[in-house]
Structure 1
Amino acid sequence: MLPTSLIMLPSHPFWRREIQFWIFQLIGWSLWIALLVLRDLTFIPREYILERVLVFLVDASIGIVLTTGLRHLYRAVWDFNMALRLIAVVLGCWAASQAWRPIKWLITDSDFGSTVDLIGYGWATFSQWMPVSMTLLLIWSVLYFFLKYYHLFQREKQKSLRSEALAHEAQLRMLRYQLNPHFLFNTLNAISTLIMVQSNDQANSMITRLSKFLRYSLEHDPFDKVDLLHEIESLNLYLHIEKVRFEERLTVHFEVPSELEDALVPSMLLQPLVENAIKHAIARSESGGTIWIQAELCQNDKLCITVADNGPGGSDHPTSTGVGLKNIRDRLQEIYGEAYQLGSSPRKPKGFQVTVTIPYEQG
């Protein structure tokens, strides 16, 4: 069978199916002629081969016409139940073989076809009721239905894959857009407070940084991967907003080697991790605290990114609850499958840390 991927076909499904049908028709009947010629070469003198090939070509052309008619019949009964389709196949092949028989007689009796006994070639029987012509047409019909069902299976498979991909995309987009509400509500409340105490400059600065951060978060598709340096720059937009809220209570340290700045990570990966640390470490402490953001190469060519804090920590730290972390886990699952890890642990002497391990890719 000739791979259809090697054939340049029109994009319209109807013309693609038509061209495929005729390609398989020509290939199949050409193989039938080749088999007859190979058989002749074993006992027919070479000087008669060309004449016989021409006769076989004419006979195969009749077969192409008849099987094209069978194709229209099978299309007409395609929506019927299986029993009626089987009846249509048997009766159709029998009628086509009956129509073929007198044509073979005419060709054999003519001067053109006198070198070949087409009746013996095409009408010899395996039994008293099953001629070779009908057997050949039944084989053609089986191949036709096989290819038909194969194309239907491939079409349904593509639909299923497309539906699954759209579902994953919708889920990933939903997860992505759930990452910001908690931060957004806190920021709007902080802006409201600044306006109430007439700190207009700070409120204006906060609104400007918020608009830049939201623009970045909306510009990047949840499927996008960005280099780590770009992700850190966007994270700094978020941190500047939080520093307006917490002022000197919030300290952030980055430990990212320059050789890892071009490593690819999912966009908006760090912000919910840092937001989680601020919510459960900095906000709970009157004196504030420190957040560390570290990136390094781990074993097996993995990129490990750790967000740690020196907050209260403890066994009650919500490491697997809350929308932010849950969505990160689900999002990483959608992007990397099983090739990721999201782990958390206490940090000594105090605090907590979350580590994301993903395949190392360079931008």
Structure 2
Amino acid sequence: MIRVNWRRELQFWMFQLAGWSIWIVMLVLRDMTFVPSEYLLGRVSVFVVDALIGMALTTVLRYLYRAVWEAAVTIRVLAVFGGCWLASQAWRPIKVLITDSDFGSSVDLTDYGWATISVWLPVSMSLLLIWSVLYFFLKYYQLFQSEKEKSLRSESLAHEAQLRMLRYQLNPHFLFNTLNAISTLILVQSTDQANAMVTRLSKFLRYSLEHDPLDKVSLDHEISSLNLYLDIEKVRFEERLHVEYDLESDTRQAQVPSMLLQPLVENAIKYAIARSESGGTIWITASRCQKDKLCITVADDGPGASDHPTSIGVGLKNIRDRLQEMYGDKFMLVSSPREPRGFQVTVVMPYEIR
């Protein structure tokens, strides 16, 4: 908050100096057409003093406008006209004093050599009104920008919160099955296997919690984390679970959302491997399907589309929502039967290298 106030204060004084400097330059340019050059420097000095007084008076107006900022529109309008009129009346005798002195005797500061618009609206009054209009315009513009930043920040935080929520919806069935498998190993006194499984589970959970949902990791890194998950599942399914990789060399360093593959593989294990007494195979492939696109496919040789509720699966829905938040409309998530049997899910996303 202090930083914002300091920035606004700095902006105000920058506009003050710029605005009054422009006013001085306008008067000097006007005088250059008819004032001899030897008198020009003296007149410039008078204009600078007059501008400094105008700067002081408009600073007082600024505090007046800030005091009535929350008031009704009528009060603010009256404050503008009343404040400008009082400031111009206070400015006029100072101008007369400068004009009557030896310092500014050659300069008419009362109306700067221009005719007044009317008896009630001299040039000084007009100048202060113009300053006031510019002040309110810039003030409202700053407020608009501030509200826009707040809106964007709120939207960003909402998206991040949604991604975090989606990210941490780890399938409870996986934890239940893993803990049940560890319990079984302990009962049959396979302590080494149980210890190894606990170690793998802790590593996998640590990875899933440490990586932010907005993080992108290399495909190689993602495969490493997936192997932690698969090592756990292989304890349960043993020889029934086979996994084969086919990754093109230029895809290994491609950036993908962290924890992208695990829900897809979990889906294949749940609906293909676990339902077959002989188990099955899961294929994970990655390729450059287009020059600027990365295609990743997770396929299985299970019973096929009839046993894959991909439209309602929480894991796949979360993936779709995460990709939507991260890539907008620049991704595709396609599920389809695999020939001659099985099911596959393909993710198409922008090809990015860190």
Structure 1 position 110, deviation (Å): 1.3
Find the partner of 1:92 among 83, 108, 129.
83
Structure 2 counterpart of 1:357 = 348
For residues 123 and 59 of structure 1, the distance between their equivalents in structure 2, rounded to whole angstroms, comes to 16
Percent identity of equivalent pairs: 76
Find the partner of 2:64 among 63, 73, 95.
73
Could you tell me whether the CA contact under 8 Å between 2:298 and 2:344 is conserved in 1? yes
Find the partner of 1:48 among 36, 39, 53.
39
Find the partner of 1:297 among 259, 270, 288.
288
For residues 301 and 120 of structure 1, the distance between their equivalents in structure 2, rounded to whole angstroms, comes to 67
Q: Structure 1 residue 174 and structure 2 residue 161: aligned?
A: no
Q: Structure 1 residue 340 and structure 2 residue 323: aligned?
A: no
Q: Structure 2 unaligned segments of length 5 or more: list them.
A: none
Find the partner of 2:111 among 109, 113, 120.
120
Find the partner of 1:306 among 269, 292, 297.
297
Structure 1 position 124, deviation (Å): 3.5
Letter in 2 for 1:286: E
Letter in 2 for 1:307: V
Structure 2 counterpart of 1:5 = none
For residues 240 and 261 of structure 1, the distance between their equivalents in structure 2, rounded to whole angstroms, comes to 21
For residues 353 and 18 of structure 1, the distance between their equivalents in structure 2, rounded to whole angstroms, comes to 60
- Aligned to 1:230, the other structure's residue is in SS state helix
Letter in 2 for 1:179: L
Structure 1 position 123, deviation (Å): 7.4
Letter in 1 for 2:123: V
Structure 1 position 308, deviation (Å): 0.3
Structure 1 counterpart of 2:183 = 192
Structure 2 counterpart of 1:282 = 273
- Aligned to 1:163, the other structure's residue is in SS state helix
Structure 1 position 119, deviation (Å): 2.0
For residues 114 and 76 of structure 2, the distance between their equivalents in structure 1, rounded to whole angstroms, comes to 25
Could you tell me whether the CA contact under 8 Å between 1:179 and 1:327 is conserved in 2? no
Structure 1 position 104, deviation (Å): 1.2
Structure 1 counterpart of 2:52 = 61
Could you tell me whether the CA contact under 8 Å between 1:303 and 1:358 is conserved in 2? yes
Structure 1 position 185, deviation (Å): 1.8
Q: Which has the higher mean CA deviation after the structures are superposed, 123-132 or 91-100?
A: 123-132
Structure 1 position 127, deviation (Å): 1.9
For residues 316 and 170 of structure 2, the distance between their equivalents in structure 1, rounded to whole angstroms, comes to 9
Please list, as runs of the form range in 1=range in 2, the aligned pairs for 1:106-117 lying within 5 A after superposition.
106-117=97-108
Structure 1 position 15, deviation (Å): 2.4
Find the partner of 1:250 among 241, 248, 257.
241
Structure 2 counterpart of 1:4 = none
Structure 1 position 300, deviation (Å): 4.3
Structure 1 counterpart of 2:13 = 22
- Aligned to 2:51, the other structure's residue is in SS state helix
Deviations 1:84-132 (A, max 9, x none): 0110000000111111111111111111111111123177311232111
- Aligned to 1:252, the other structure's residue is in SS state strand
Q: Structure 1 unaligned segments of length 5 or more: list them.
A: 1-9
For residues 333 and 85 of structure 2, the distance between their equivalents in structure 1, rounded to whole angstroms, comes to 67
So what's the TM-score if we normalise by structure 1?
0.94
Structure 1 counterpart of 2:195 = 204
- Aligned to 1:118, the other structure's residue is in SS state coil
Number of equivalences: 354
Deviations 1:66-94 (A, max 9, x none): 10110111111111111101100000001
- Aligned to 1:119, the other structure's residue is in SS state coil
Letter in 2 for 1:128: V
Deviations 1:311-361 (A, max 9, x none): 000345212212100000111111111111111100000000000111111
Could you tell me whether the CA contact under 8 Å between 1:304 and 1:356 is conserved in 2? yes
Extract structure 1 runs of 4+ deviating beyond 6 A: none
For residues 210 and 317 of structure 1, the distance between their equivalents in structure 2, rounded to whole angstroms, comes to 26
Letter in 1 for 2:251: L
